[in-house]
Amino acid sequence: MNILDKERKLQVLEKNISDLGDSESVSKLVEEVEKFKKNEMTKLSSWDKVLLARHPKRPKSRDFIDYLSKDFIEFHGDRLFGDDKSIIGGIGSIDGIVFTIIAQQKGNTVEENIKRNFGMPHPEGYRKALRLMKQAEKFNRPILTLIDTPGAYPGLGAEERGQGFAIAENLKEMSRLTVPVIAVVIGEGGSGGALALGFANEVLMLENAIYSILSPEGYASIVWKDSSKAPLAAEQMKITAADLKDFDIIDEIILEPFGGAHFNPELTFEKTKKCIMDTYYHLSGLARTELQYQRNAKVRNFGFLQRFNYDNLKEVRK
Amino acid sequence: MNKIGETINKRKKLKHNIRLMNEESRVNRELDLDIPEGLYDKCPKCGKLTNMKLNIENDYICKNCGYHFRMRAIDRIKYILDEDSFVEKGIGYITLNPLYIEGYEAKINKYKKETSLDEAYIYGFGQIYGEPCIIGVMDSHFMMGSMGSVVGEKVAKTFEYAIYKKLPVIIFTASGGARMQEGIFSLMQMAKTSAAVAKHCSLGYLYVSVLTDPTTGGVTASFASLGDIILAEPNALIGFAGPRVIEQTINQKLPEGFQRSEFLMEKGFIDQVINRKDLKKTLHQILQMHRRTV
Ligand SMILES: [Zn+2]
C-alpha cells in the first residue's frame, strides 16, 4: 500500500466518523484513525515521496509565489523566440526585500498542465530565466528560484532551438553571478532541466521533494528493462531530501506538515518563507565577489571519488 | 594499530602500487596501435566489410562511404597531436560506487581492461604542429563515455591546469550523457565543469570544443556546448535528449538527419562541420591565430 492508497483510506475513515455523528462507536473510530495516522502515514518510503512530490494537489510554484510575495509582477519572454509558460519569472518583494523570482510551473488542472507543458521547459524558458538573472545582477537583486519539473522537454522544437546549449549557458552564467542565489526544490527536481535553475549559493529542499538525475521509471527501464520496478529504483537512486542532505548536495530541509504539503499549504509556505529569509540574511553578509566564490567553491567539491597517492608510487619505484 | 596490522597494510599498499604501475605501462604499450593485416570490420553506415588497416590509414574514414569511425581516445591523441608531444595529466583517479549499485565496480573494471583507460576521459599537455595546448579527449568505448564524478573532476582539472599553464583548451567530446550509476553526483558534474569553463573563459583564454559522434545528454548541456569555437565532425549525433526518448515522447519517427552535426550547423549552433582530414590543420590555424604574446 503506497501513500496515495493510505490517503484514500484515511479519507474514507474520516468520512465514516462524520457520517456517524454523535453515536457511541465514534470515539473508538477516532482512536483507530489516530493510530492509523501515527503508524501508517508517518513512515514514508522513497517511492512514497516520489508520489507526494508529483501529487496533483501539491502546491505549485505559483501558489508559493502568491503567498511569499503580495506584489509580484510577472515578466514574459526571452526577447529571442517567445514566452515559455512552464517558467514563470518576475520581481516581487518578500518581507520587504525585492527578489527576482524564477520558477518552474506545473498546472493545477489538466488544462493548465497542457498550457504549462507539465512543467517541462523549452530552451526559450531557460533563456528567459537567464535574461532575468542578468537583470537581477545589474540591479544587485537577490535571485530566488523554485524548482518543480520532470525535466527539460525532449521534443523536436526543443532540440532545434538548442536545449543543451541553453542549459549549458545558464550554468556558465550562473557561476558568474555576484548576487545571492537561493534555490528551493519544491516538488520534482528532474535532471539537467532542474539544475539549470539550481546552481545556487544555497539549495533548500522540501521534505518530500525529490531531486534526481533521471526519473525512477527511466532508471528502472534502463537497468531492469521494466519501468514498473520504479519503486525499487527510487530506493536505490537516493533522491530524497534526507539522502541529498547526507551527501551535502543540498543545504537545508524544509519540513512538511503531516501527510505532505497539500495537507496544510499555508504552513508549508510559512516555513518555506522563513527558511528563505534566514538563508537570505545569512548570505547578504557576504560581499559580491565572496558570493560568487562561495557558489563556485561549493560546486567544485561535488563528486564522489578518490585519487591515488603518487608519493607512495615513487617509493616503490626506487 | 599493532605491528602485524601495519605490515599487512604495507603489503597491501605495495601490491596495489605494483598493479597500478603495470596498468600504466600497459597504457603506454597500447598507444602503439597494432592492427593485424587481415582484420575486417563492418562499416556501420554502408554495411560493407572493410579492411580496418586501410581505414585507419585513411584517417579512420570508411573508404567506401566516408563514414567517420568512432575513435578511441588514445588513437585520437596520436592522430591530432605531434608525435611524442603528449604528456598525460591527472592520472590515478579511482571511480567509486556512491550508491552501492550492484555490479558497478565489476563493470568499471571490465571497461578498464578493454580500453586500457582509467576512465572515459583523458587529458594532458600536447602540441599541434608546435602550438602548445591542453587537450582533453572523451572515449565512447568506456561505458558510452558517460560522465561520472571522475570524468567531471578531470574535465574541471583540465581547465584549471590550462589556467595554470596559461594555455588554450581543446576538448573532443563523445558521450552518452551523465552516468546514472553515480546518481546525483553525476548531475552535479554539469555545474562543476561549466563553472570551470567560465573561469578559464573569463581570464581570456581560448576553448575549442570538437563534438564527435555521439555527444548527448549532460555533456551537451554543459562543457561541450560552451566552447568559444565549436567544431563538429560530419554526421555526428549531437543533442540533449536521445533520439529514442524524443520518439517516445512525440510518438512519431524523427526526420532524416535530425540531431546530426549538419543539422545543428544549419540551426546556428555549430561554427563549422569539419572533415577529419582537415581537423588538425584547422585546429593549428585557430591556435596560431589566438597565440598570446605576453
Ligand atoms: Zn562505409
pLDDT tens, residue by residue, B96-117? 999 999 899 999 999 988 888 8
CA distance A103 to A248: 23
Lowest mean pLDDT among A105-119, B19-33, B65-79: B19-33
Residue A299 is predicted with a pLDDT of 94
Nearest residue in A to B222, CA atom? A168
Backbone angles phi, psi at A196, to 5 degrees: -60, -15
Residue B49 is predicted with a pLDDT of 79
Residue B40 is predicted with a pLDDT of 67
Average pLDDT (A64-68) is: 95
Q: Do B195 and A316 lie within an 8 Å CB cutoff?
A: no
Residue B32 is predicted with a pLDDT of 47
**ipTM associated with this complex:** 0.92
Give me ligand 1 centre to Cα B75, in Å. 19
Lowest mean pLDDT among A88-92, B18-22, B213-217: B18-22
Lowest mean pLDDT among A10-19, B11-20, B65-74: B11-20
Res. B24: pLDDT tops 60: no
Res. B50: pLDDT tops 90: no
CA distance A145 to A159: 24
CB-based burial, A280-298: b 16+ in 10 Å, e otherwise: beebeeeeeeebbeebbeb
Residue B147 is predicted with a pLDDT of 95
Res. B37: pLDDT tops 60: no
Give me ligand 1 centre to Cα B76, in Å. 20
In this prediction, residue B11 has a pLDDT band, given cuts at 50, 70 and 90, of low
Q: Among B121, B188, B201, B258, pick the best mutation site for testing chain A contact (most A Cβ within 10 A).
A: B188
| Å between B94 CA and nearest CA of chain A | 5
Residue A30 is predicted with a pLDDT of 81
Q: Among A165, A227, A317, pick the best mutation site for testing chain B contact (most B Cβ within 10 A).
A: A165
User: For the segment A227-249, what is each residue's pLDDT rounded down to a tens digit?
Assistant: 899 999 999 999 999 999 999 99
Give me ligand 1 centre to Cα B66, in Å. 6
Residue B5 is predicted with a pLDDT of 62
Which of 37-66 (B) contact A at CB < 8 A? none
In this prediction, residue A318 has a pLDDT band, given cuts at 50, 70 and 90, of very low
In this prediction, residue B136 has a pLDDT band, given cuts at 50, 70 and 90, of very high
| Å between A199 CA and nearest CA of chain B | 7
Cα first-last separation, chain A:
64
Q: What is the pTM of this model?
A: 0.90
Res. B31: pLDDT tops 80: no
Res. B159: pLDDT tops 80: yes
Which of 134-153 (A) contact B at CB < 8 A? 152-153
Q: Among B9, B25, B192, pick the best mutation site for testing chain A contact (most A Cβ within 10 A).
A: B192
Res. B266: pLDDT tops 60: yes
- Which of A41-45, B68-72, B154-158 is the most confident on average? B154-158
A313 has a chain B CB within 8 A of its CB: yes
Chain A residues in contact with B236 by the CB 8 A cut-off are none
Write the DSSP symbol of residue A60.
Answer: P
Q: B173 Cβ partners below 8 Å, 6+ apart?
A: B138, B145, B209, B210, B211, B212, B215, B219, B220, B223, B224
Res. B14: pLDDT tops 60: no
Q: Do A316 and B218 lie within an 8 Å CB cutoff?
A: no
Average pLDDT, chain A: 91
Q: Do B184 and A214 lie within an 8 Å CB cutoff?
A: no
Q: B141 Cβ partners below 8 Å, 6+ apart?
A: B70, B72, B111, B114, B115
In this prediction, residue A313 has a pLDDT band, given cuts at 50, 70 and 90, of low
Residue A249 is predicted with a pLDDT of 94
Residue B39 is predicted with a pLDDT of 61
Strands B40-42 and B49-51: antiparallel
B178 has a chain A CB within 8 A of its CB: yes
Residue A20 is predicted with a pLDDT of 74
Average pLDDT, chain B: 86
| Å between A19 CA and nearest CA of chain B | 46
Res. B13: pLDDT tops 70: no
Q: Do A302 and B201 lie within an 8 Å CB cutoff?
A: no
Res. B139: pLDDT tops 80: yes
In this prediction, residue A188 has a pLDDT band, given cuts at 50, 70 and 90, of very high
Q: Among B155, B240, B253, B259, pick the best mutation site for testing chain A contact (most A Cβ within 10 A).
A: B240
Question: Domains of chain B, with CATH numbers?
Answer: 71-289 (3.90.226.10)
Q: Do A304 and B96 lie within an 8 Å CB cutoff?
A: yes
B259 has a chain A CB within 8 A of its CB: yes
Query: Please, how many CA atoms are within 13 Å of residue A272, restricted to the half-sphere of its CB?
Result: 35
In this prediction, residue A314 has a pLDDT band, given cuts at 50, 70 and 90, of low
Give me ligand 1 centre to Cα B93, in Å. 37
Residue A132 is predicted with a pLDDT of 97
Chain B residues in contact with A191 by the CB 8 A cut-off are 178, 187, 218
Greater model confidence, A31 or B120? B120
Give me ligand 1 centre to Cα B236, in Å. 14
Q: Do A305 and B95 lie within an 8 Å CB cutoff?
A: yes
Res. A123: pLDDT tops 90: yes
pLDDT over 90 percentage in chain A: 76
Nearest residue in B to A194, CA atom? B187
Three-class SS of B63-96: CCCCCECCCCHHHHHHHHCCCCCCEEECCCEEEC
Among A197, A282, A189, CA closest to A243:
A189
Helix ranges (DSSP H) in chain A: 3-20, 26-40, 46-53, 61-68, 110-115, 123-138, 156-160, 163-174, 191-195, 216-223, 230-237, 241-246, 265-283, 288-300, 310-317
Residue B294 is predicted with a pLDDT of 53
Average pLDDT (A66-95) is: 95
Quick check: A115 and A86 in contact, CB under 8 A?
Answer: no
Res. B205: pLDDT tops 70: yes
